[in-house]
Amino acid sequence: METNFNEQDRYHLAKKRVEDIKGFYGNLMSYIILNIFFLVLNLITSQNELWFYWPLLGWGIGVIFHGVKVFNYSPFFNKDWEERKIKELIDKENNNKWD
């Protein structure tokens, strides 16, 4: 029974991870496409005033943070503590059932 639960738990974690990665790549693609559109629009409408770099910078910072969170490149966004806490709570719940 416990091995089945662990397999289900691992499956759900893997599924969530795939959804997070998919979400990041969707965000990255929309960032690239829309910023190309903003660049072209800016160059067509007003070449003297370049405003396209503001959404490029602002949204770029968001994409970077999203990528760091999804791919765990930083200790600030590390999800190991979440998994350890979940395992701790499950173990605690299992021990309370037997008491």
CB 17 within 8 A of CB 53: no
Which pLDDT does position 98 carry in this prediction? 62
CB 35 within 8 A of CB 52: yes
- Is pLDDT at 33 greater than 80 in this prediction? yes
Question: HEC profile for 2-18?
Answer: HHHHHHHHHHHHHHHHH
- Is pLDDT at 7 greater than 70 in this prediction? yes
Which pLDDT does position 87 carry in this prediction? 79
- Is pLDDT at 11 greater than 80 in this prediction? yes
CB 56 within 8 A of CB 36: no
Q: What are phi and psi of 62, to 5 degrees?
A: -65, -40
Q: What are the pLDDT digits (tens) for 56-73?
A: 999 999 999 899 888 877
Which pLDDT does position 3 carry in this prediction? 54
Q: What are phi and psi of 74, to 5 degrees?
A: -135, 145
Which pLDDT does position 1 carry in this prediction? 46
Percent share of the chain, pLDDT over 70: 83
